[in-house]
Structure 1
C-alpha cells in the first residue's frame, strides 16, 4: 500500500465517526459491512461481529492517540499483523481482517515517519481527522476557513467583551 493510500484509509477509518453531524458508519454491524465493501473491497459476508467490535475498538484507540489523549490503561485493542520479507529486502505488513488491514496502514505511516502528521481537529463540534501537510507540522485545524476561523472569531470576541 502506498503512503497516500495508507493516509486515505486511516483517515476514512478514523472519520467513520462524524462528530459534527452525529453519524457513525460503524453504528451497526451491517453499516460496518458496507464500509468494508466500499473502503476495503471486502465481501460483506466475511465480516463477523468480532471484526466489527475490533474495528470499533481500534477506531476509538486511534482517535484518542491521534488526538493526543494519553490512555491511563493499556491499549484497547491489539491487532496481529503478518510480516512479509522478500529476498530483495522488501518488507511489508498486511492483514486479512478489517482492523488488521487498517493497523497495517497505521504501521506503514509510523515506519515512514508520517504518524505525527495525523491529527484530530480540536474544535469540539468537529473533531475530524486530517493529515498535516505543513512543512513544520504546525497545522492545528482541519480547515482554517471553517474551524480555525470560528476559533479566532471566538477568541477575538472573548478579548473584546
Structure 2
C-alpha cells in the first residue's frame, strides 16, 4: 500500500508482520502457507503471530499519537516471553540482544525492537491513522510527525473528508 522506503535494521521484520493484514479488504497473509513462510511460521503458529501483530499495531498507533484500535495483549507482556541472549562483538566490544538459535518470531521481533530502541528509531515506526488502513510505515519526515502510510492514498482521503466536512 505504501510508497515509503523500508525502515532501517530489524524494523523491516516488524513492519512486514504488521502489514500481513489488510484491514480494508480483510485479507490476512497469515492465512496462507506462502504468507507464513517469510516468518518461519506453521499453521499452528498463526494465532500467536496474530496476537503479536495486533500488539505491535497498537504500539505503532501509540507512536503516531492514536489510541489502540482494539484491546490487545500489551506488547511488553509478549516480548517478556522472548528468549534472547546478549552477544558481544570481540572486535569492537559492542553488545546486542539476539534471538536464541535464530529463535522463534517472537524472539526475532524482540531483538529488532531492542536494536531500534538503542538506535533511536523505534518511535519512528508508526501505524497509519486511517481507520481503514493502520498500515505500518517508517516516518522519515524531519519532524517525525507523519500521519499516513501514503499521502497519495490515505492522506488524500483524509484531506478530502476534511474539505467536504467544511461544506465546500
Same fold (TM over 0.5): yes
Q: How many residues align?
A: 149
Q: Which string of whole-angstrom CA distances, capped at 9 and with x for unpartnered residues, describes residues 2-27 of structure 1?
A: x7341321110111111122111223
Aligned to 1:86: 89
Identify which of 13, 28, 35 aligns with 2:17.
13
Q: Is the contact made by 2:58 and 2:72 (CA closer than 8 Å) also made in structure 1?
A: no
CA distance in 2, matches of 1:149, 1:64: 23
Residue aligning to 1:127: 134
Superposition deviation, residue 152 in structure 1: 0.9
* Paired residue secondary structure (1:84): strand
Superposed CA RMSD in Å reads 2.5
Equivalent residue number for residue 102 of structure 1: 109
Q: 2:167 matched to 1:150?
A: no
User: What TM-score do you get using the length of structure 2 for normalisation?
Assistant: 0.76
Partners of 1:22 and 1:48 in 2: how far apart? 18
Tell me what 1:60 maps to. 54
> What TM-score comes out, normalization by structure 1 length?
0.79
Cα distance in 1 between the residues matched to 2:74 and 2:127: 21
CA distance in 2, matches of 1:72, 1:56: 11
